[in-house]
Amino acid sequence: MTIRSKAPLRLGLAGGGTDVSPYSDLYGGAILNATISLYAYTTIEPTDDDRVEFLAPDRGLKETYTNAIEVDTDGYFILHKGVYNRIVRQFTHRPLSLRIASFVDAPAGSGLGTSSTLVVSILGAYVEWLKLPLGEYDIARLAYEIEREDLGLAGGKQDQYAATFGGFNYMEFNGDNVIVNPLRVRQSHIDELNHNLLLYYTDTSHVSADIIREQQRNVRQGNAASIESMHRLKDQAIQMKEALLKGRVDSVGDILDYGWQHKKQMASSVSNPHIDSIYQAAIGAGATGGKISGAGGGGFMFFYCPGLSRFAVRSALTALGGETKRYEFTSEGLKTWTIQ
């Protein structure tokens, strides 16, 4: 028997950072994101040798444990181990025997929610295998707890819910309460957004936890400029929702630019001279707005390119050393299946 799962990565279109505590606890956060056709994949093969093997086939890495009621959370497989420990502790109460392998369509630190999406994918495979009674909200919440509480990794809440639910969603965050509002965006508007949004990999990565910790520190210390920028990003999520639902797709670029100008005020490491030069090159070539995906500092950026300007923008950005990436928006979230 083989169990498989896949969960989609996401583009954070608006409101990024307002899902992070303590801002979301104090003021409430709002995010608008959409999943894309890049995925985190997991395969579980049950065994009978009382061993658990963690595999990264794309990297040639493996770690093995025997009769493990709990495994250490060191090394490359920290996310896999965190999920395994929680599954054993909360559900099976006994060691499991399996091989579990995973890979992701984008590199770590790319800003597309890779870590959280991988946790959702791994968790989904266990849910499929063990027939755990967990719905979408349960899976997303458990994935969040594993990352943020069990493993102590800094970050927000949006990625786990995006990967689990899929599609275009307007999400509201108030303390521990999360509400996912699926948006009924017309397919023609989605197609136009697909046509005009250019996804660009800067050929750099970031450590999102460092940026998020600075953002959290700014809120705790009452940094007025940082907090005001998060208020404006929450407003941006509302603007983006209205634009997509009403079909004002060509206003997306201006809304992205509005958010980008405020996002840079959240923490000093959100942008840097290289990212600024990429942004200016895209605008100079015809883009009307854009942003970095995720916390900032590196990874993917995306730009709204009206008409046929994507070709000039792509040429300008390629000259800076990165590469554009093809994708489509997706309507489905976490998927799991079993092969007998």
Q: Where are the domains of the chain?
A: 2-184, 187-325
pTM assigned to the model: 0.94
Q: Residue 65 in contact with residue 47, Cβ under 8 Å?
A: no
Mean pLDDT of 125-150: 97
User: Domain 2-184's class?
Assistant: alpha beta
* Buried/exposed code over 230-242 (b: 16+ C-beta within 10 A; e: otherwise): bebbbbbbebbbe
pLDDT tens sequence across 298-312:
789 999 999 999 999
The residue type found at 69 is I
Extract the runs of DSSP E, i.e. beta strands, from 26-82: 29-46, 51-56, 61-66
**Phi/psi at 218 (5° precision):** -60, -40
Mean pLDDT of 14-27: 92
Pairing mode, strands 51-56 and 98-104:
parallel
pLDDT tens sequence across 242-263:
999 999 999 999 999 999 998 8
Q: For residue 265, what pLDDT is reported?
A: 84
pLDDT of 207 > 70? The answer is no
Q: For residue 205, what pLDDT is reported?
A: 66
Domain range 187-325, CATH architecture: 2-Layer Sandwich (3.30)
Active-site residue 159, yes or no?
Answer: yes
Among 208, 194, 173, smallest CA distance to 292 is for 208
pLDDT of 281 > 70? The answer is yes
pLDDT of 36 > 80? The answer is yes
Q: Choose the catalytic residue: 159, 250, 254, 257.
A: 159
Tokens of 195: 């046509």
Which DSSP string corresponds to 87-122? HIIIII-S---EEEEEEESS-TTSSS-HHHHHHHHH
Please tell me whether the peptide bond between 22 and the residue prior to it is cis, using omega within 30 degrees of 0. yes
